[in-house]
Amino acid sequence: MAPNDTFWLSDQLSRPRVRYFLYYPLTLALAAILLWISPTDLMTGVSSAMATVVAMLMLWEFLFTGKVIRFSSICAMGLTIGYGPGTFNTWLTLPRAGLPLAASIGQTVPELADGVAAALLGCAVLFCVGELIEKPAWIAVEKLRITGGMKWLVLVNSAIIAVAFAAGKFHQGGLTTATSHSAGSLAEFLSFLLGATVVMTGVVFFGGLSGKDKYIFGLILVGLLGLLITQGRRDLVYPALTIIPMARYAGYQWNRLTVSRIVLITLGVGFLFVGVLAYQLLRLAGETVSSTSISAETDQATHWAKEGQAWKIATASSLQNVKRRTLLVVFLSDLLYHARTEKTANGRDLLLQFEWAIPSVIFPNKPATAEEEVAAVTYHEFYPDESNSLFTAGALDFGLWGILIYPIAVVMLCSLTQRLASVYFSYEVALFGLFMFTLAMIAPEQQMSSYFVQVRNFIGLSAFVYVLSKLPAFQADHAASGANA
């Protein structure tokens, strides 16, 4: 069987799964209906708790037992985690002196309840419709194969990322930006490379390497994860979560525990925990130093560590963030409140975000407009940096209908792009697309333009790998791995 055939077995062997088509959507829809019937603070907690159960079941299956990957179900899982457990966590942990959660954010209880209910209904529709109309991006009837081409791609991408880091393109919290909306096409391409390359490196590392290759790719993985620590908590956690199921598809058996595997898993969990705290420390250090370089912020964090304050500063700030920053629904609730009584943006946000994904070479004078700016003009309100998502983009343009339609449309665009790549480009490109779009779907908080940018970058990466695949060394290594499969 040729490697690319694996991607198309889903055409014959995939079918809607009852829990995704029926059980999960019904539970989320019920939670939404309960909130609309009884929009109270208590019911907000109950409904978000119901969504939390669905989210945790889905996450467990995605990581350890699932055999089919649909971008729609991963996107629905990510959005459910963002708007379900995220709301429940803040509702449960935020001190508010007996007041309802809505009062602490300047909204009425029905407004907040309406936002949570709309988000849960949007997740229910995405689960159900995606299960019916989307062909899986991967179905694990065939082991994911580690090819020489994957190793080449990891090495080349890692070299590009290392050069970019040495050139100062990366800084704490993301890439060097000229505006608050974008870092430019080149920087966005580097960011695109980093996350998916980490996942591919992890898959190669866990996929059966031995000897010096095991150490080489292990060091590359540690180095890339170390760079991710400086980029943000989500940038570190999402690739780490994605590596787990992808390595399982490559044959790594997480449930077969040996002493070495227990040590490896313990080190991995510890690395993530320390990495999250280290990023928070760097973030706070960035607020106290004049330079924006990682080295200056690291020096300040090191100074705190020498004084014995680093642990206290990082943990206290992280705990405070955990209480408030998980409440993604605030912006969505406000947009829905205005959409009920005022004229919506009617697609203007979609148009501007699509235009932003067009390369500047083609569209040099494209508008650099963030979603908050469109909302501010539409509703004459001031919106600072808000929690953007496919739901907020849909709500801004068309209210509740946008919440139901936008995620489906974007998911199908990404799914079609990846499937076309698996036909016209190499196995490595198809896998890279699987990793990259999985990372995009699992993240609930990002502007819609980022999905369009991912499609644009993936097309560029496909062309790059096509040229790389013509190199004699790449072809010889690829042929050798295919013969050994």
What residues does each domain of the chain span? 5-139, 148-323, 329-459
- 235-261 in b/e form (b: 16+ CB < 10 A) is bbbbbbbbbbbbbbbbebeeeeeeeee
What is the rounded distance in angstroms from the CA atom of residue 251 to the CA atom of residue 276?
29
Q: What is the pLDDT of residue 471?
A: 64
Q: What are phi and psi of 7, to 5 degrees?
A: -70, -20
Q: Report the interhelical angle of 41-60 vs 24-37 (nearest 10°).
A: 170
pTM exceeds 0.85 = yes
- 430-442 in b/e form (b: 16+ CB < 10 A) is bbbbbbbbbbbbb
Tokens for 60? 């467990």
What is the rounded distance in angstroms from the CA atom of residue 236 to the CA atom of residue 240?
7
| CA nearest to 354, candidates 456, 232, 459 | 456
Q: What is the pLDDT of residue 1?
A: 41
**Is 119 within 8 Å of 36 (Cβ atoms)?**
no
| CA nearest to 321, candidates 286, 293, 284 | 284
Q: What is the pLDDT of residue 461?
A: 81
Burial class (CB in 10 A: 0-12, 13-18, 19+), 365: exposed
What is the rounded distance in angstroms from the CA atom of residue 318 to the CA atom of residue 159?
33
Q: What are phi and psi of 138, to 5 degrees?
A: -155, 140
Contacts (Cβ under 8 Å, ≥6 apart) of 336 = 111, 114, 115, 118, 395, 399, 400
If you search the block for the tokens 């990682």, which residue do you land on?
294
Residue 244 to residues 39, 64, 192, 300: CA-CA distances in angstroms? 39, 8, 20, 34
3 state SS of 170: strand
What is the residue-level pLDDT of the chain in tens, covering all 485 positions? 444 555 545 555 567 789 999 999 999 999 999 999 999 999 999 999 999 999 999 999 999 998 889 999 999 999 999 999 999 999 998 888 888 999 988 899 999 999 999 999 999 999 999 999 998 888 877 788 888 888 988 998 999 888 888 877 776 666 544 334 445 566 677 778 899 999 999 999 998 777 788 899 999 999 999 888 888 888 889 999 999 999 999 988 888 878 878 888 898 888 888 888 888 887 887 777 766 667 777 777 787 877 777 777 878 777 777 766 788 999 999 999 999 989 999 999 999 888 888 877 777 777 777 889 999 999 999 888 888 999 999 999 999 999 999 999 999 999 999 888 888 788 888 889 999 999 999 999 888 988 998 898 888 888 777 776 666 655 555 555 555 54
| 198 CA to centre of own chain | 13
Tokens for 171? 């800084």
What is the rounded distance in angstroms from the CA atom of residue 454 to the CA atom of residue 122?
23
If you search the block for the tokens 């936002």, which residue do you land on?
115
| CA nearest to 230, candidates 182, 292, 304 | 292
| 471 CA to centre of own chain | 33
